[in-house]
Amino acid sequence: MSKICVIGTGYVGLVTGACFADLGNTVTCLDVDASRIERLKQGIMPIYEPGLEQIVQQNVRHGRLHFTTSYPEALKDAEFAFIAVGTPSGVDGEADLQYVRQAAEAIADIVDHPIVVVNKSTVPVGTGDWVAEVINRRRAGKPLDFSVVSNPEFLREGSAINDFMMPDRVVLGSLDRNAAEKVAQLYQSLRCPIMITDLRTAEMIKYASNAFLATRISFINEIANICEELGADVREVARGMGLDKRIGPAFLDAGLGWGGSCFPKDVKALAHMAVLHGTHPQLLQAVMEINRNQRRRVVVKLRKALGSLDQKVIGVLGLSFKPNTDDIREAPALEVIHLLENEGALVKAYDPQAMDNARSVLPRVQLVDTPYQVAEGADALVLATEWNEFKQLDFDQIYHSMRQPIIMDARNLWDPDKLRSLGFTYFGIGRGNSIHPKG
Ligand X SMILES: NC(=O)c1ccc[n+]([C@@H]2O[C@H](COP(=O)([O-])OP(=O)(O)OC[C@H]3O[C@@H](n4cnc5c(N)ncnc54)[C@H](O)[C@@H]3O)[C@@H](O)[C@H]2O)c1
Specify the amino acid at residue 271. Answer: A
370-to-48, 275, 374, 424 alpha-carbon distances in Å:
19, 46, 7, 20
Q: Which is nearer to ligand X, 11 or 424 (CB)?
A: 11
Where in 27-46 is the site for ligand X (CB under 6 A)? 30-33, 36
Where in 338-377 is the site for ligand X (CB under 6 A)? none
Q: Which is nearer to ligand X, 26 or 151 (CB)?
A: 151
Q: Considering only 99-107, 195-203, 282-290, 360-368, which stretch makes contact with ligand X by CB under 6 A?
A: 99-107
- Intra-chain end-to-end CA distance of the chain, in Å: 62
Residue 74 binds to ligand X (criterion: CB under 6 A)? no
Q: Which is nearer to ligand X, 32 or 241 (CB)?
A: 32
Nearest-angstrom CA–CA distance, 386 and 127? 36
CB of 71 to ligand X, least distance (A): 8
CB of 153 to ligand X, least distance (A): 4
Q: Are 194 and 28 in contact (CB under 8 A)?
A: no
Residue 122 binds to ligand X (criterion: CB under 6 A)? yes
Binding ligand X (rule: CB under 6 A), the pick from 26, 59, 119, 261 is 261
Q: How many binding residues for ligand X (CB under 6 A)?
A: 26
**What is the separation of C-alpha 202 from the centre of its chain, rounded to a whole number of angstroms?**
20
Residue 218 binds to ligand X (criterion: CB under 6 A)? no
Nearest-angstrom CA–CA distance, 50 and 217? 25
Binding ligand X (rule: CB under 6 A), the pick from 199, 232, 262, 365 is 262
Rounded to 5°, the CA angle 129-134-139 comes to 125
Q: Which is nearer to ligand X, 94 or 157 (CB)?
A: 157
Among residues 150, 165, 231, 193, the alpha carbon closest in space to that of 432 is found at 231
Residue 153 binds to ligand X (criterion: CB under 6 A)? yes
Residue 330 binds to ligand X (criterion: CB under 6 A)? no
Count of CB atoms situated within 10 Å of the CB of 227: 25
Is 227 assigned a catalytic role?
no
Helix (H) or strand (E) holding 301: helix 282-306
| Local structure of 177: helix, strand or coil | helix
Which residues have a catalytic role annotated? 262
Q: Which residues bind ligand X (CB under 6 A)?
A: 7-13, 30-33, 36, 84-87, 99, 102-103, 121-122, 153, 155, 157, 261-262
